């Protein structure tokens, strides 16, 4: 057996920066040994079921790169030296790319690189003591554009004092604390008594200014933040000046990304992926690209002063042009920009990325195809002509700061017209969503039946990743399956309490049939995007688990059956799903609902149900696809989440001339009957549940052989529930 050189591993739990995290990997490893020993008497050690057990692991797999937990000490030292060269006191590292994508390619995961936190949402802030001695600065320009000096060797790094913080929301508190090392402080967004990341950043900068007697500059890559964020941060700076008049704080754009400057000192910088781009037929979209462009022009340019529109969001461009790509994992989008005027439309992507057929089709509707890299320069030139004519650009609020910095004319800001149009699905898209969820329901039914049979009847050992892979196998059997819509959350026991848990090789838990198992997963079909969460138990759940599961289920049913007047925003109905948990003093730390795309991003704006600002600003409308996912999480023990996707449609109610809307649940997966306390359900709730299960049985039972375990499992799980 070869020895693992753990001392040389800089990116895993073996590294010195992570030694403060006790009993994490070791406890998981011990559980795997224990589970294998418990079950070692009835299976041949060489049987397929033993694959991946601790008895067959290659020792080097104990330090797999997938479990990328980072010792950030030297990374922060090197970043602070870069900050010194640019005369920065604070450097902000956002999660997003220059298109403000929620999920990003490996190349754009700069915040993850510097912090070690792998979640999709969050912002990292790194400070540098301005009294540190060492490298010289590069001047005091507000707009830092000079290229940085070549990165020094590690031996040449002059240690710079400072602190580091990561701000994220309630979905990721547990994960962030688990992944980050001792260099980092967690700022819990929305938690009582916690400052916003903007406030914390400016307070740090103000103190650094007072300590040094000089201006403390806050730097950020202007392509990675929105103009809205810049305005908010400058507002906080102005407020801080009233509190500490002697402190001089300034926000500056740093055109060269400082994380990119240091990345290759530690590991290879991932390439920016340029995947295949395909046309999506009108049989799936329901509307041609030409018709969509005309609709957008009609809406945007009804204000005669506006003569230009910038489109930077990747899902908006994909929707508008009826194209889909693969540049970002799980999101069928491609890197591009658009500048639209009443008479022209420039697509910045480059002809080399498009097939001759796509190029011909785009040019046939008068779309000019230009290199991706020309976007900012062209915007600068085109906007100069607009300034001469006193015309304006319309800039969506999801555009980055660099867009604004390259404008040479007046502009208006607002919610993206395309985001609004895209969120209201046409009839073709709605029917596609229903079909996609029927297919995904079939795959999930096969999966849960297989998982129960494997764990209980076969008494086999399955870890969270093996379960994920089996579910993917079932999904691949469905027509028009393209891929997953996000990383599957396959979580056994306490892992289910980590809201966005992702199992990784080397640390994935074995699925314990005596504990709750949570699976949150989704698919991309040509017809639509799915997102389903089910929580199940294969043995005997506790009375507490049954009660809490039923409270979550009651919240799901309450939202699913709600009728509400048009004009209602999601924040007004969030408590509908939480009320039953609240009765027992319980709650969950994430939103109740998010929009869902049509073979696009699984998280889609502008709607939502929850406490976030977008939920209060944007009303729910017919044609919206939206999730319904209340939950409960007991840290260190278990997690419960029940998620369906619903469409919004007209109801038969109206009041004082105002129409009422309602939801229609399109997910087709049974709930876990073993976890339901019928005594806690009202007659109406029980009736809804039995009707829902009857629909699943009627629509899907015919797909399975009557002698199969899947058929028998589905029959059992959808049989009417009685109080007696």
pLDDT digits (tens, 9 = 90+) for 571-609: 999 999 999 999 999 999 999 999 999 999 999 999 999
From 69-73, 217-221, 226-230, 523-527, the region with the lowest mean pLDDT: 69-73
- Give the span between the Cα atoms of 658 and 655, in whole angstroms: 5
151 close to 265: Cβ distance less than 8 angstroms = yes
End-to-end distance of the chain based on CA atoms, in angstroms?
60
As a whole number of Å, the CA-based R_g of the chain is 27
> Mean pLDDT, to the nearest integer, of 418-434?
98
Instruction: Tell me what pLDDT residue 111 has.
Output: 95
Distance CA 165, CA 27 (A): 28
**pLDDT given at position 425:** 98
Q: Report which DSSP code applies to 665.
A: E
The answer on pLDDT for 138 being more than 70 is no
The span from the CA of 579 to the CA of 227, in Å, is 37
- Residues 432, 666: contact at Cβ < 8 Å? no
Between residues 194 and 53, which one has the greater pLDDT? 194
Q: Assign 190 a pLDDT band (cuts: 50, 70, 90).
A: confident
Q: What is the pLDDT of residue 47?
A: 40
DSSP letter (8 states) at residue 681: S
Across 184-203, average pLDDT: 93
Domains by residue range for the chain, with CATH: 6-63 (no CATH), 73-263 (3.40.350.10), 278-414 (3.40.350.10), 427-718 (3.90.230.10)
| In contact, 179 and 499? CB cutoff 8 Å | no
Report the range out of 133-137, 159-163, 175-179 with the highest average pLDDT: 175-179
Helix (H, G, I), strand (E, B) or coil at 18: helix
- Dist CA 563 CA 555 (whole Å): 14
Apex 332 CA angle, 330 and 338, nearest 5 = 135
What separation in angstroms does the CA of 172 have from each of 24, 286, 426, 500, 609?
17, 37, 34, 7, 19
pLDDT-based confidence at residue 175 (cuts at 50, 70, 90):
confident
Q: How far apart are CA 722 and CA 450, in angstroms?
A: 26
The whole-number pLDDT of residue 588 equals 96
- Identify the CA nearest to 128 among candidates 237, 205, 220: 205
Token pair of 513 as six digits: 């049939």
Q: What pLDDT shows up at residue 345?
A: 98
| pLDDT of 424 over the 70 cut | yes
Give the pLDDT mean for 230-257.
Answer: 96
Position 156 confidence tier, pLDDT thresholds 50, 70, 90: low
Q: Which residue has the tokens 């006193």?
A: 390
pLDDT, residue 186, reads 95
Q: What is the DSSP string of 286-336?
A: SS-HHHHHHHHHHHHTTSTTEEEEEE--HHHHHHHHTEE--SBTTB-----
CA distance 207 to 217: 12
- Could you give the CA distance from residue 3 to residue 201 in angstroms, rounded to a whole number? 45
Query: CA 225: distance to chain centroid?
Result: 17
Question: Model confidence at 696, in pLDDT bands (50, 70, 90)?
Answer: very high
The DSSP call for residue 459 is -
pLDDT value for 284: 98
> Which residue has better confidence, 434 or 155?
434
Residue identified by tokens 């041949």 is 44
Residues 316, 319, 321: CA angle, nearest 5 degrees = 105
Residues 159-173 pLDDT 10s:
668 999 999 988 888
CA distance to 161, 533, 579, 582, 676, per residue, from 685 (Å): 59, 20, 15, 18, 12
pLDDT number for residue 598:
98
Q: Are strands 604-609 and 216-220 parallel, antiparallel or unpaired?
A: unpaired
With a CB cutoff of 8 Å and minimum separation 6, the contacts of 140 are: 87, 215
Q: Which residues pair with 484 in a beta bridge?
A: 523
CA distances from 702 to 447, 476, 527, 708 (A): 17, 20, 22, 12
C-alpha 593/C-alpha 609 separation (Å) is 5
User: Rounded to an integer, what distance in angstroms lies between the CA atom of residue 39 and that of residue 37?
Assistant: 5
> Tokens representing 399?
């555009």
- Name the average pLDDT for the chain: 88
pLDDT at position 148 is 40
Residue 514 per-residue DSSP state: T
User: What pLDDT was estimated at residue 270?
Assistant: 87
- Residue 504: predicted pLDDT: 87
Per the listing, tokens 């962030």 go with 176
pLDDT score recorded for residue 44: 40
Asked if pLDDT for residue 25 goes beyond 90, the answer is no
Q: Are 608 and 595 in contact (CB under 8 A)?
A: yes
Taking only the tens place, the pLDDT of each residue in 479-508 is 999 999 999 999 999 999 999 898 988 889
Helices marked H in 64-145: 73-85, 110-115
| Angle of the 427-452 helix axis to the 464-476 helix axis, nearest 10 | 130
What is the pLDDT at residue 159?
65
CA angle 90, 96, 98 (to 5 degrees): 100
Greatest mean pLDDT range, 43-47, 130-134, 327-331: 327-331
pLDDT at 133: 55
Query: CA-to-CA distance for 41 and 50, rounded, in angstroms?
Result: 12
Give the model's pLDDT for residue 69.
58
The percent of residues above 90 in pLDDT, for the chain, comes to 78
């Amino acid at each position: 057996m070869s020895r693992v050189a753990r001392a040389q591993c800089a990116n895993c739990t073996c590294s010195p920066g992570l030694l403060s995290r006790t009993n994490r990997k070791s406890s998981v490893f011990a559980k795997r040994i224990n589970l294998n020993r418990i079950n070692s008497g009835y299976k041949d050690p060489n049987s397929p079921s033993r694959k991946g057990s601790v008895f067959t692991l290659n020792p080097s797999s104990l330090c797999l790169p997938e479990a990328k937990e980072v010792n950030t000490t030297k990374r922060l030292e090197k970043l602070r030296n870069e900050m010194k060269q640019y005369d920065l006191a604070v450097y902000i590292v956002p999660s997003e790319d220059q298109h403000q994508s929620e999920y990003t390619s490996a190349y754009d995961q700069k915040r993850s690189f510097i912090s070690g936190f792998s979640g999709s949402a969050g912002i990292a802030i790194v400070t540098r003591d301005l009294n540190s001695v060492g490298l010289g600065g590069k001047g005091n320009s507000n707009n830092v554009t000079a290229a940085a000096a070549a990165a020094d060797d590690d031996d040449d790094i002059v240690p710079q004092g400072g602190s580091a913080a990561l701000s994220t929301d309630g979905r990721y508190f547990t994960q962030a604390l688990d992944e980050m090392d001792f260099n980092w402080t967690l700022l819990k967004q929305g938690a009582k008594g916690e400052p916003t990341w903007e406030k914390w950043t400016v307070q740090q900068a103000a103190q650094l200014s007072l300590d040094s007697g000089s201006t403390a500059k806050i730097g950020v890559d202007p392509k990675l933040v929105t103009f809205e964020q810049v305005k908010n941060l400058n507002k906080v700076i102005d407020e801080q000046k009233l509190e500490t008049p002697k402190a001089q704080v300034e926000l500056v754009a740093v055109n060269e990304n400082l994380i990119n400057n240091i990345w290759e000192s530690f590991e290879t910088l991932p390439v920016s992926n340029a995947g295949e781009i395909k046309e999506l037929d009108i049989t799936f979209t329901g509307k041609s690209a030409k018709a969509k462009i005309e609709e957008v022009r009609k809406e945007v340019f009804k204000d005669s002063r506006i003569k230009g529109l910038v489109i930077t969001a990747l899902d908006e461009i994909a929707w508008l042009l009826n194209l889909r790509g693969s540049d970002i994992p799980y999101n069928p989008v491609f890197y591009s920009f658009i500048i639209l005027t009443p008479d022209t439309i420039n697509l910045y992507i480059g002809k080399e990325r498009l097939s001759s057929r796509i190029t011909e089709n785009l040019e046939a509707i008068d779309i000019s195809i230009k290199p991706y890299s020309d976007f900012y320069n062209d915007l600068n030139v085109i906007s100069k002509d607009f300034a001469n004519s006193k015309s304006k650009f319309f800039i969506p609020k999801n555009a980055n700061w660099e867009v604004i910095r390259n404008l040479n004319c007046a502009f208006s800001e607002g919610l993206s017209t395309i985001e609004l149009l895209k969120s209201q699905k046409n009839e073709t898209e709605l029917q596609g969503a229903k079909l996609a969820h029927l297919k995904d329901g079939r795959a999930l039914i096969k999966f849960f039946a297989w998982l129960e049979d494997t764990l209980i009847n076969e008494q086999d050992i399955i870890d969270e990743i093996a379960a994920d892979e089996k579910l993917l196998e079932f999904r691949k059997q469905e027509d028009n399956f393209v891929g997953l819509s996000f990383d599957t959350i396959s979580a056994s026991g306490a892992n289910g309490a980590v809201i966005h848990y992702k199992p990784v090789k080397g640390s994935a838990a074995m699925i314990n049939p005596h504990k709750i198992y949570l699976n949150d997963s989704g698919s991309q079909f040509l017809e639509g995007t799915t997102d389903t969460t089910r929580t199940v138990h294969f043995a005997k759940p506790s009375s507490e688990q049954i009660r809490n599961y039923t409270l979550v289920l009651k919240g799901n049913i309450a939202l699913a059956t709600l009728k509400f007047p048009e004009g209602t925003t999601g924040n007004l109905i969030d408590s509908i799903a939480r009320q039953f948990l609240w009765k027992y003093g319980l709650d969950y730390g994430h939103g109740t609902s998010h929009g869902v795309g049509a073979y696009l991003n699984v998280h889609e704006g502008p709607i939502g149900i929850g406490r976030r600002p977008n939920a209060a600003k944007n009303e729910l409308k017919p044609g919206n696809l939206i999730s319904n996912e209340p939950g409960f999480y007991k840290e260190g023990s278990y997690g419960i989440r029940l998620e369906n996707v619903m469409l919004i449609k007209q109801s038969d109610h109206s009041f004082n001339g105002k129409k009422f809307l309602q939801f229609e649940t399109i997910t087709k997966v049974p709930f876990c009957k073993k976890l339901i306390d019928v005594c806690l359900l009202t007659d109406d709730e029980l009736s809804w549940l039995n009707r829902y299960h009857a629909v699943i049985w009627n629509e899907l039972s015919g797909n399975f052989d009557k002698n199969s375990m899947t058929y028998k499992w589905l029959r059992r799980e959808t049989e009417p529930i009685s109080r007696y």
